């Protein structure tokens, strides 16, 4: 746990430049843009944590509701424009004085998960502050907001054509494959939903919100409390409470159907077809009508994607594919 929990002293950790140098050799192609953004962003502080803390509080109008761009059970997200001209997303953690241990655990989860993660389809993490007065995390600001917001908006739904939607599904698959296979220990997100997928100006997907993430330690049981968003949680968690990568696979299946349908699939999950013919008929019936109709090639791709989503939604977690297999399938 954080040693300063409940103390009046606040902690600012400037992580961006450290991340850039550490990751340069391994992810140089992905990090060139990030390192430039990070260097510019934190130049305002001259590595003075108190100055940066005050700058963020001031720029957010002390976290006034007019700056709020998203709300959740764990914290609200604010669009903050700094004096340097940089725009960041700041997640302010709700003050849970009656349950500080839980609040600290969720905050620590998100920080620990984000420290080592560097992937183009995962929202970039700049740093954090933990204090008795204000606690927040600083991320790259993504212009288009959440996938949920775009799908629920009529005009944005039209703008999300089928090529963009397939690319969003690919991006999320790549992010989850990275978390499950390229992180050590593997990371299970546990709360994948359309609210936790953010879109940049080019509609590229970025997975966010690691407050309930679980690091799969091979030396522990990986049993946990139930977490996640209703409608996306794998059914086995209701009775086993054991986390595995297949929990994220199930959530990904729900999300994939949501992207294709334009809305959460709801009860349709329990009546999914098993044959290819039935699958083709289902795609025609549930396809979001707001974008222009897909071409024949794209229609075939959507049918394959929907079939893959059905595999992800298998009741038996052992019958679900891995995210690596899914990402490879989508890339082919």
Q: Identify whether 191 is a catalytic site residue.
A: yes
User: Dihedral of the CA atoms 304, 151, 272, 250 (nearest 10)?
Assistant: 80
Here the tokens at position 298 are 């794209």
User: Which one is catalytic: 29, 64, 191, 200?
Assistant: 191
- Whether the CB-CB separation of 137 and 56 falls below 8 Å is answered with no
- Whether the CB-CB separation of 232 and 254 falls below 8 Å is answered with yes
DSSP, res 61: T
Distances in whole angstroms, Cα of residue 298 to Cα of each of 62, 75, 161, 164, 292:
47, 38, 11, 11, 12
What phi and psi, each to the nearest 5 degrees, are found at residue 12?
A: -115, 130
Calpha distance 264→232 (Å, rounded): 9
Calpha distance 332→312 (Å, rounded): 18
Q: Do the annotations mark residue 170 as ligand-binding?
A: no
Here the tokens at position 188 are 């299970």
Name the E strands within the chain: 11-14, 68-70, 75-81, 87-93, 125-130, 136-140, 145-146, 187-188, 197-199, 205-207, 214-215
Calpha distance 160→146 (Å, rounded): 13
List the alpha helices (DSSP H) in 43-183: 49-59, 100-115, 147-152, 154-159, 162-181
Here the tokens at position 177 are 């494959």
Residue numbering of the annotated binding site for ATP: 92
Residue numbering of the annotated binding site: 92
> Which residues are marked as active site?
191
């Amino acid at each position: 746990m954080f040693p300063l929990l409940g103390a009046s002293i606040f902690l600012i950790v400037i992580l961006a430049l450290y991340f850039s140098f550490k990751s340069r050799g391994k992810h140089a192609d992905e990090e060139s843009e990030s390192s430039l953004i990070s260097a510019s962003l934190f130049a305002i502080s001259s590595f003075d944590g108190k100055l940066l803390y005050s700058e963020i509080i001031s720029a957010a109008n002390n976290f006034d509701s007019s700056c709020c761009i998203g709300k959740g059970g764990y914290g609200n997200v604010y669009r903050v424009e700094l004096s340097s001209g940089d725009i960041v997303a700041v997640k302010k953690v709700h003050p849970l004085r009656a349950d500080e241990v839980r609040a600290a655990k969720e905050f620590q989860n998100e920080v620990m998960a984000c420290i080592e993660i560097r992937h183009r389809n995962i929202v970039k993490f700049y740093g954090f502050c933990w204090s008795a007065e204000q606690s927040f995390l600083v991320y790259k600001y993504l212009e288009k907001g959440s996938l949920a917001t775009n799908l629920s908006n009529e005009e944005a739904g039209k703008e999300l054509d089928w090529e963009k939607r397939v690319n969003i599904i690919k991006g999320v698959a790549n992010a989850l494959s990275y978390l499950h296979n390229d992180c050590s220990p593997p990371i299970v997100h546990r709360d994948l939903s359309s609210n936790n997928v953010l879109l940049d100006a080019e509609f590229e997907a970025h997975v966010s919100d690691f407050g309930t993430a679980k690091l799969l330690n091979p030396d522990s049981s990986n049993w946990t409390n139930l977490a996640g968003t209703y409608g996306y949680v794998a059914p086995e968690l209701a009775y086993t409470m054991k986390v595995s990568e297949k929990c994220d696979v199930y959530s990904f299946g729900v999300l994939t159907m949501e992207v294709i349908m334009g809305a959460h699939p709801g009860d349709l999950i329990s009546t999914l077809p098993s044959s290819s013919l039935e699958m083709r008929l289902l795609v025609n019936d549930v396809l979001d009508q707001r974008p222009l109709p897909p071409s024949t090639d794209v229609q075939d791709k959507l049918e394959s994607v929907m079939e893959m989503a059905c595999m992800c939604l298998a009741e038996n977690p052992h019958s679900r594919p891995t995210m690596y297999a899914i990402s490879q399938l989508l890339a082919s």
